[in-house]
């Protein structure tokens, strides 16, 4: 998606060889218009599929998840990372190691909001090693729901998550795929898939 | 806001005397249409005020924050609770004790996204003791930004956060104010303010 790639070129900041800061528009400050356009692009890609629910993970997936749920006119459900008193007792759980935080979290979704009849599109802001995505897919499988596909804002294609999951048969549409990046040479995008 | 109160009556679940679960529509599964209507009501209340940015806190404030930012046509910025490698080094910080998690978090917003020219509307899902809101207001003050007002989905009016902050001069518009609740007697709403 050219508009997102251009925004990454303009406002993304590379730290070292692996960290891309996009907090001015995607995951700290949110550019609502950009996210609406991203949601429209995702809708176009999956428009011939039946989707009953959008699924993501807190916190950075929620914003893109909201706008994708809006264009598909279905609910959003987001996996939570910690047990809250306000969460129900019956949950599907998985363990996820965060790439940016280096800690293992239990993620969970209430059994009430994910079930055998659901056709799920997972969305998230980043795909790198695929840990969060693998955890979310395991929740979909545990619930007996159908995984229709995955859509990601920014895929770090130089890390193995995307290729590993595609080899397993998961349809992943990433709006911007980064082939390589460095502080000195900038960003090289990979072709869309 | 009657539509939200009716939804709380129908789908809210009271646990003990203080916990209200609204995870079927507000903070685990998201009813996009309901949140859009809530955002419109907030827009109506603050339509004569100049607002340059919506501000909230991860994770449960992000969804309502997105739709409020959409109707005001301004960016959303959400305070983060943990230091991430992808956050910038210069941040405003405050300490917040979570009512539902019983732990103290450092919350932070990048200095890049909150500044002296900003006119801020803070939104969040719940107001109880006002800890999160007090922390967010301190970030606004630290940045030299102007706090225009606050809008909350559900205020537990039997807890002191709302009255304390209103006495300090903060304009708070809560879409549903709960006067009392219990598992046996259900929910009694307080008048709108």
pLDDT band of residue A51 (cuts 50, 70, 90) is very high
Chain B interface mutation, best of A13, A32, A83, A97, highest count of B Cβ atoms under 10 Å: A32
Q: Taking a C-beta distance cutoff of 8 angstroms, is the pair B82, B57 a contact?
A: no
CA atoms within 13 A on the CB side of B73: 2
The interface predicted TM-score of the complex, written ipTM, equals 0.95
Q: Can you tell me which residue has the tokens 């809101």?
A: B133
Q: How far apart are CA A17 and CA A80, in angstroms?
A: 29
Instruction: For residues B29 and B19, give the distance between their C-alpha atoms in angstroms, rounded to a whole number.
Output: 17
Considering only CB atoms, A23 lies closest to which of B27, B30, B86, namely B86
Does residue B59 sit at the A interface (CB-CB below 8 Å)? yes
CA distances A143 to A140, B96, B182, B186, Å, are 5, 35, 32, 32
CB atoms within 10 A of CB A97: 14
Is residue A99 predicted with pLDDT exceeding 90?
no
**pLDDT at B100 (0 to 100):** 65
Q: Cβ contacts (< 8 Å) between B110 and chain A: which residues?
A: 23, 28-29
From the number of C-beta atoms within 10 Å of its C-beta (0-12, 13-18, 19+), residue A59 rates as buried
Alpha carbon of A167: minimum distance to chain B alpha carbons (Å)? 29
Which residue of chain A is at minimal alpha-carbon distance from B113? A29
Contact B158, B180 (CB under 8 A): yes
* Mean pLDDT, all residues of chain A: 94
Cα B64 to Cα B36: distance, rounded to the nearest angstrom:
8
Specify which residues B173 forms β-bridges with. B151
DSSP label of B17: T
- Cβ pair A78, A59 in contact under 8 A: no
| Model pLDDT, residue B99 | 65
| Rounded-to-integer distance, Cα A35 and Cα B137, Å | 27
Three-state SS at B44:
helix
Residues (pLDDT < 50) of chain B are none
Task: Output the CA–CA distances (angstroms, integers) from residue B132 to A28, B79, B124, in the order listed.
Answer: 17, 10, 9
What are the chain B neighbours of A31 within 8 Å (beta carbons)? 75
What is the bridge-based pairing of β-strands A53-57 and A119-127? parallel
Mean pLDDT within A54-75: 97
* Residue A181 β-bridge partners: A187
Cross-chain CB nearest to B23 (options A21, A58, A87) = A87
At B103-115, the pLDDT tens digits run 888 899 999 999 9
d(C-alpha B21, C-alpha A90), whole Å: 14
Give the tens place of pLDDT for each residue, A134-187: 999 999 999 999 999 999 999 999 999 999 999 999 999 999 999 999 999 999
Find how far residue B77's CA is from the centre of its chain.
Answer: 13
Q: Give start and end residues of each alpha helix (H) in chain B.
A: 2-11, 32-45, 61-72, 131-142, 161-167
Length of chain A: 193
């Amino acid at each position: 998606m050219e508009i997102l790639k251009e925004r990454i070129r303009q406002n993304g900041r590379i730290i070292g060889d692996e960290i891309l800061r996009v907090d001015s528009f995607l995951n700290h400050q949110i550019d609502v218009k950009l996210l609406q356009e991203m949601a429209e692009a995702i809708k176009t890609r999956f428009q011939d599929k039946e989707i009953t629910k959008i699924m993501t993970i807190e916190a950075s997936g929620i914003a893109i998840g909201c706008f994708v749920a809006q264009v598909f006119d279905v609910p959003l459900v987001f996996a939570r990372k910690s047990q809250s008193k306000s969460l129900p007792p019956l949950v599907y759980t998985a363990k996820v190691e965060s790439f940016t935080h280096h800690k293992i979290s239990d993620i969970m979704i209430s059994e009430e909001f994910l079930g055998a009849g659901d056709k799920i599109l997972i969305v998230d802001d980043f795909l790198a090693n695929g840990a969060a995505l693998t955890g979310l897919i395991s929740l979909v499988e545990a619930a007996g729901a159908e995984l229709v596909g995955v859509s990601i804002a920014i895929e770090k294609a130089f890390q193995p998550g995307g290729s590993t999951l595609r080899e397993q048969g998961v349809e992943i549409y990433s709006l911007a795929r980064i082939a390589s990046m460095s502080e000195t040479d900038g960003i090289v995008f990979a072709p869309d898939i």
